[in-house]
Amino acid sequence: MPNLSWQVPFTQKGAPTFILINQFGEKTSYVAQWSFGVQRELTKNMSLELNYMGSTGVHLRRLQTYNNAPPGAANQTARRPFPQFGGFQVMNAPGHSSYNSLQSRLQHRFANGFTLLGSYAWSKSIDNGSGVRTTDGDPLTPMDDYNLGRERGRSAFDFRHRFTGSFLYELPFGKGRRMAISHPVANMIFGGWQIGGIFTVQTGFPLTAFCGPGNIQNGGNYCAPDVVPGQSPNNISTRTVQRFFNTDAFVDRLGQNPAAITDFRYGNSGRNTITGPGLTSFDASLTKVFAITERHRLEFRSEFFNLPNHPIFAPPGTTLRTANYGVISATKVDSRQLQFALKYQF
């Protein structure tokens, strides 16, 4: 178009634009990993493993938006480094991560109709950006694109503790088993049963607090509140769905009167400082095998997901001065589910 210029780019009215750019000479991402472990045989069929595992990610990809105005009182457009443009969004590689964990594993190999596998992990993952596209409220772009040190905190996928145990047990009744049943009808009823289950317990993923509505920061990307001295969001005597974390741990300064703000600045709260809801789940299965002949089998399988019907909560709201601040209003997975299947083998 003949009326385009650097002073009025891409639009006839001169409104700020949003531009996608590529970083020139970006370095290649890589991850270094290391581990050390010991194994010990406890019995003929049971073993124990203890492992330390660590890793670091270098030049990890994430989204950033340059040419944003820093916090201030004047119009944001005029305070941009290049006011004739809008934000410059780029997927570059400034990210860094570190992970350390202690992992244990107890295994009983299948013998005498029984197998068991239990694992426990105690870990911590830290980074300054957990991915190009984020989940569960992790900031998509840094608060201050020119200071990624502010973003360093727990990874969006970090959990401190996780235990998983699974088992499978063949009931000892029926033809060819320890408690044989010779009568064909009794064998069909009581023989060929199998029960199994998976039990999981995990601490919650981290969440980030955000300022409430209003022109509080007037610059940068997302707005972080301030930390109230002596308060921690995870220090709360009784957690409820109406107040899952200590909502008094943050303040966004002037609350309901953003027009009176005179000290426009970034907040001092960190990224991913709130620990979200954990997970407790038990899934079970019950299987019955009907041996019709040596080559023909009929298998009936029933599966029970979240058998105790224990609620697995979704994250609470983390935006100050909103109706759902600190409130859990949904579950993350469905309630108890039952599934049945019939399989014929020949």
CA distance 115 to 46: 9
Least confident of 5-14, 236-245, 256-265: 5-14
Q: Which two tokens stand for residue 6?
A: 């650097």
- Cβ distance 210 to 223 under 8 Å? yes
Question: In the structure, what pLDDT confidence band is assigned to residue 10 with cuts at 50, 70 and 90?
Answer: low
Contact 63, 78 (CB under 8 A): no
| Distance, CA of 45 to CA of 111 (rounded, Å) | 7
Provide the pLDDT for residue 334: 78
Once rounded to an integer, what is the mean pLDDT over residues 277-296? 87
Q: Which CB contacts under 8 angstroms, 24+ apart, belong to 170-179? A: 170/113, 170/114, 170/194, 171/113, 171/195, 172/113, 175/291, 177/113, 178/112, 178/113
Q: Which of 12-26, 35-49, 103-117 has the lowest mean pLDDT?
A: 12-26
Domain boundaries, the chain: 36-58+96-345
pLDDT at 6: 60
Which of 171-175, 192-196, 293-297 tops mean pLDDT? 192-196
Separation between Cα atoms, residue 122 and residue 102, nearest integer Å: 5
- Among the listed residues 124, 202, 189, the one whose alpha carbon sits nearest the alpha carbon of residue 163: 202
Q: What is the mean pLDDT of residues 158-162?
A: 95
Span between the terminal Cα atoms of the chain, in Å? 72
Task: Taking residues 277-303, report their average pLDDT.
Answer: 88
Residues above pLDDT 90, as percent of the chain: 56
> Looking at the predicted structure, is the pLDDT value of residue 238 above 70?
yes
pLDDT at residue 15 greater than cutoff 80: no
Which residue did the predictor score with more confidence, 54 or 299? 54
DSSP-assigned letter for residue 294:
S
**Under 8 Å CB-to-CB from 184, ≥6 apart: which residues?**
none
pLDDT-derived band at 292 (thresholds 50, 70, 90) equals: confident
Helix/strand/coil for 72:
coil
What are the angstrom distances between the C-alpha of 203 and each of 121, 126, 129, 213, 316?
11, 16, 21, 30, 15
- Burial status of residue 42 (CB atoms within 10 A of its CB: 0-12, 13-18, 19 or more): exposed
Span 204-218, mean pLDDT? 89
Which residues, including other chains, have CB under 8 Å from residue 56's CB and lie 6 or more apart? 31, 32, 96, 97, 98, 99
List, for residues 219-230, the tens digit of each pLDDT value: 888 899 999 999
Give the residue among 304, 224, 301 at the shortest CA–CA distance from 266: 224
Distances (CA, A) of 318 to 136, 167, 189, 242, 250: 11, 38, 55, 12, 10
Per-residue pLDDT, 220: 87
* Residue 129 backbone class (left: φ over 0; alpha: ψ -120 to 50; beta: rest): left
Q: Which residue has the tokens 């503790």?
A: 161
Is residue 87 within 8 Å of residue 77, measured between CB atoms? no
pLDDT of residue 335: 83
Average pLDDT, the chain: 88
Q: What is the pLDDT of residue 280?
A: 92
State the average pLDDT over residues 136-159: 90
pLDDT band at 258 (very low <50, low <70, confident <90, very high): low
More confident residue, 160 or 297: 160
Q: How crowded is the C-beta side of 69, counted as CA atoms within 13 Å?
A: 19
